[in-house]
Amino acid sequence: MTQQTTAVPGKFITFEGIDGAGKSTHIGFVVDFLAARGKTVVSSREPGGTRLGEQLRELLLHEKMHVETEALLMFASRREHLAQVIEPGIERGDWVLSDRFTDASFAYQSAAGGMDRDKIMALAQWVHARRWPDLTLLFDVPVEVARQRLDAERTLDKFEQEKADFFSRCRNEYLRLAGEHPGRIVVIDSTRSIDETRAAIAAALERLL
Ligand X SMILES: Nc1ncnc2c1ncn2[C@@H]1O[C@H](COP(=O)(O)OP(=O)(O)OP(=O)(O)O)[C@@H](O)[C@H]1O
Annotated binding site for ATP, which residues? 17-24
**Distance between CA 58 and CA 65 in Å, rounded?**
13
**Distance between CA 60 and CA 105 in Å, rounded?**
12
Q: Which of 11, 13, 14, 23 binds ligand X (CB under 6 A)?
A: 23
Going from the C-alpha of 205 to that of each of 32, 76, 95, 159, the distances in angstroms are 12, 29, 11, 29
Nearest to ligand LXEULUCI of 93, 156 (CB atom): 156
**How many chain residues are in contact with ligand LXEULUCI, going by CB under 6 A?**
12
Mark residues 106-125: x for contact with ligand LXEULUCI by CB under 6 A, - for none: --xx----------------
Residue 92 neighbours by CB under 8 Å, 6+ apart: 7, 10, 40
Contact in structure between 8 and 95 (CB atoms under 8 Å): no
Of 136, 208, 146, the C-alpha closest to 177 is 136
Q: Which of 14, 43, 50, 105 binds ligand LXEULUCI (CB under 6 A)?
A: 105
Q: Which does 153 bind (CB under 5 to 8 A by kind): ligand X, ligand LXEULUCI, none?
A: ligand X
Q: Which residue stretch of 16-24, 44-52, 67-75, 178-186 sits at the interface with ligand X (rule: CB under 6 A)?
A: 16-24
Residue 22 has φ and ψ, to the nearest 5°, of 115, 10
48 binds ligand X, rule: CB under 6 A: no
**Shortest Å, Cβ 50 to ligand X:** 19
19 binds ligand LXEULUCI, rule: CB under 6 A: yes
Nearest to ligand LXEULUCI of 11, 57 (CB atom): 57
**Distance between CA 195 and CA 77 in Å, rounded?**
33
20 binds ligand X, rule: CB under 6 A: yes
> Quick one: which H or E segment has residue 144?
helix 143-151
Contact in structure between 50 and 80 (CB atoms under 8 Å): yes
Mark residues 24-53: x for contact with ligand LXEULUCI by CB under 6 A, - for none: ---------------------xxx------
Contact in structure between 169 and 115 (CB atoms under 8 Å): no
- The residues that touch ligand LXEULUCI, with contacts defined as CB under 6 A, are 19, 45-47, 74, 99-100, 104-105, 108-109, 159
Contacts with ligand X, residue ranges (CB under 6 A): 17, 19-25, 139, 149, 153, 160, 190, 193-194, 197
